[in-house]
Structure 1
Amino acid sequence: MGRKSPYPEEFRKDAVALYRAAAGRRTYAAVAADLGITAESLRTWGRKEEDPATPKGRDVGASAVEELARLRVENSRLLKAEKEWQLEREILRQSAAYGAREMK
């Protein structure tokens, strides 16, 4: 067992909540620096507060499957758009070549 934390439980929970509210925009280090604690302390508190029913590490369950499906749909949409843009460029290229011949 480690030593007892000098920070009250409420402070630790508030610090973790602050980090999670800023997730994606701020790092552990940035939030920890604002609070005057180390990033590793904040990271440890966050791990301890995770739901014990979920496995350690990333949850690759339903959310990953949903994300993969969303990305596949987005990928197919982008591929379709790329084909349309290629067709438009080819039409413009031929039109420019035709216009250049007419100018001569």
Structure 2
Amino acid sequence: MEALKPGKDDRHARTEKVPRSTVRTCYPHGSGSPTEYRDPPRAISRVSDQLDIKGKTLHNWVNQAEVDAGHRPGTTTDQPQQLAELERQNRELKRANAILKFASAFFAAELDRPHTR
């Protein structure tokens, strides 16, 4: 259990290290959603007490797992990363486009100049 109790400064590492089985313990056997329990908040509360995790934290993890599985609407875990990657690619393409526009204007001006031999 000590592996689940890093210090306050290690919050990001904690969410990365928590095994998926922790979230799955909130699901009834063989189902895809904790909402199939008669009382999902009670199940989450019981599991969080057993694993010494704050109930709200486990509730958030369960909600995110449901979003990732498609059982609940929302932003999946990988969508922000994909968006950041697309934004980076967009910046690179805009920069390349500006360079190409400048180069084409430069060469067009060269073609318009009278040539002396």
Q: Same fold (TM over 0.5)?
A: no
TM range (shorter): 0.3 to 0.5
> When the two structures are superposed, what TM-score results if normalisation uses the length of structure 1?
0.41
> When the two structures are superposed, what TM-score results if normalisation uses the length of structure 2?
0.37
Higher relative contact order (CA 8 A, sep 6+): 1
